[in-house]
Chain A
Amino acid sequence: MAIKKKFSLGSFSLRLLLRIFLIAWGITVVYPLFWMVISSFKSSVEFYLDPWTLPQSLMWENYESAWVSSKFSEYFLNSALVVTGSTALYLLMLTTTAYAIGKYKFRLQKPIEIFYFFAMMIPTILLTIPLYFMMFNLGLTDNRAALGAIYALQSLPGGLYLLIGFVKNINNAFIEAAEIDGAGEWYIFTRVILPFVKPTVLYLAVVKIMSTWNEYVLALTYLRTESKFTVPIGVSYLTNTMEYRVDFGAMFAALTISVLPIFILFAVFQKHILSGVDAGEGVKG
Chain B
Amino acid sequence: MQTASVGAVQQKTRKYPKLSASKKWFLWIFVIPTLLLFSFVTIVPLVESIYISFFEWSGYTPDMKFLGFQNYIDILGDPLFYKSAINDFIIIFFKEIIVCAIVILFAVTLTRLKLTKVENSIYRFIFYIPNILSSIVFTQLWVYIFNPGIGLADGLLRAAGLYDWIPEQGWMVEHTMPVLIWVICWCTVGSFMIVMISSINNISEETYEAAEIDGANQWRQLVHITLPAVWTQLRYMMVTILCSSLAANMNIVLPMTNGGPDNASMVMGLYVYQFGLSGASEVGYSNAGAVLLMIIAFGLSFLFNVVLLRREEK
Q: Which residues of B contact A3 (CB under 8 A)?
A: 114
A97, B30: Cβ atoms closer than 8 Å: yes
**Chain A residues with a Cβ closer than 8 Å to the other chain, count:** 95
**CB of B164 closer than 8 Å to a CB of A:** no
Known: A100-B23, A136-B59, A280-B199. 18 other contacts (CB 8 A): A15-B113, A26-B127, A29-B129, A32-B142, A32-B145, A35-B141, A47-B150, A51-B155, A100-B30, A105-B17, A116-B38, A123-B246, A129-B276, A130-B52, A232-B136, A266-B129, A280-B198, A283-B201
B23, A125: Cβ atoms closer than 8 Å: no
Q: Which residues of B contact A263 (CB under 8 A)?
A: 129, 132
B35, A18: Cβ atoms closer than 8 Å: no
**CB of B194 closer than 8 Å to a CB of A:** yes
Shortest 7 CB-CB contacts between residues of A and residues of B: A280-B201, A214-B134, A280-B198, A123-B247, A96-B30, A129-B276, A130-B45
B34, A126: Cβ atoms closer than 8 Å: no
Known: A185-B23, A280-B201. A221 touches B277 (CB 8 A): yes
Pairs A–B under 8 Å by Cβ, sample size 12: A10-B217, A22-B123, A26-B127, A105-B19, A129-B272, A129-B273, A130-B283, A149-B37, A184-B22, A255-B137, A262-B133, A283-B201
Bound-state CA distance A186–B20 (Å) is: 13
B198, A216: Cβ atoms closer than 8 Å: no
- Cβ-neighbour of B23 out of A97, A104, A116, A213 (below 8 A): A104
Most buried by A among B30, B110, B200: B30
Q: Which residues of A contact B114 (CB under 8 A)?
A: 3-4, 7
Least Cβ distance of B286 to chain A in Å? Answer: 6
Q: Which residues of B contact A122 (CB under 8 A)?
A: 42, 46, 294
Mark interface residues in A202-240 (1 if CB within 8 Å of B CB, else 0): 000000001001111100110000000001100110010
B136, A273: Cβ atoms closer than 8 Å: no
B141, A32: Cβ atoms closer than 8 Å: yes
A134, B106: Cβ atoms closer than 8 Å: no
**CB of A77 closer than 8 Å to a CB of B:** no
Which of A54-62, A80-88, A150-158 forms part of the interface with chain B? A150-158
Bound-state CA distance A15–B110 (Å) is: 11
**Chain B residues with a Cβ closer than 8 Å to the other chain, count:** 98
Known: A18-B105, A48-B150, A255-B141. A104 touches B19 (CB 8 A): yes
**CB of B130 closer than 8 Å to a CB of A:** yes
Mark interface residues in A24-41 (1 if CB within 8 Å of B CB, else 0): 011011111101100000
Known: A2-B209, A232-B137, A277-B201. A125 touches B13 (CB 8 A): no
- Cβ-neighbour of B126 out of A30, A96, A106, A220 (below 8 A): A30
Bound-state CA distance A160–B132 (Å) is: 21
A4's nearest neighbour on chain B, judged by CB, is B114
- CB-CB contacts below 8 Å: B136-180 with A: 136-138, 140-142, 145, 150-152, 155
B198, A279: Cβ atoms closer than 8 Å: yes
- Cβ-neighbour of B152 out of A52, A93, A99, A255 (below 8 A): A52
B297, A123: Cβ atoms closer than 8 Å: yes
A216's nearest neighbour on chain B, judged by CB, is B136
A277, B197: Cβ atoms closer than 8 Å: yes
A214, B152: Cβ atoms closer than 8 Å: no
**CB of A43 closer than 8 Å to a CB of B:** no
Which of B82-90, B249-257, B306-314 forms part of the interface with chain A? B249-257
B137, A189: Cβ atoms closer than 8 Å: no
Mark interface residues in B90-128 (1 if CB within 8 Å of A CB, else 0): 000000000000100110011001110000000111111
**CB of A195 closer than 8 Å to a CB of B:** no
**CB of B290 closer than 8 Å to a CB of A:** yes
Least Cβ distance of B3 to chain A in Å? Answer: 21
B137, A258: Cβ atoms closer than 8 Å: yes
Q: Is the interface of A mostly helix, strand, loop or mixed?
A: helix
Bound-state CA distance A274–B122 (Å) is: 12
A107, B16: Cβ atoms closer than 8 Å: yes
**CB of B300 closer than 8 Å to a CB of A:** no
B22, A125: Cβ atoms closer than 8 Å: no
- Cβ-neighbour of B26 out of A14, A19, A100, A232 (below 8 A): A100
B194, A216: Cβ atoms closer than 8 Å: no
**CB of A112 closer than 8 Å to a CB of B:** yes
- CB-CB contacts below 8 Å: B3-56 with A: 12-13, 15-17, 19-20, 22-23, 25-27, 30-31, 34-35, 37-38, 40-46, 48-49, 52
**CB of A166 closer than 8 Å to a CB of B:** no
Most buried by A among B20, B106, B246, B255: B255
Q: Which residues of A contact B17 (CB under 8 A)?
A: 105
B287, A130: Cβ atoms closer than 8 Å: yes
**CB of B263 closer than 8 Å to a CB of A:** no
A17's nearest neighbour on chain B, judged by CB, is B109
- CB-CB contacts below 8 Å: B173-216 with A: 186, 189, 194-195, 197-202, 205, 209, 212
**CB of B293 closer than 8 Å to a CB of A:** yes
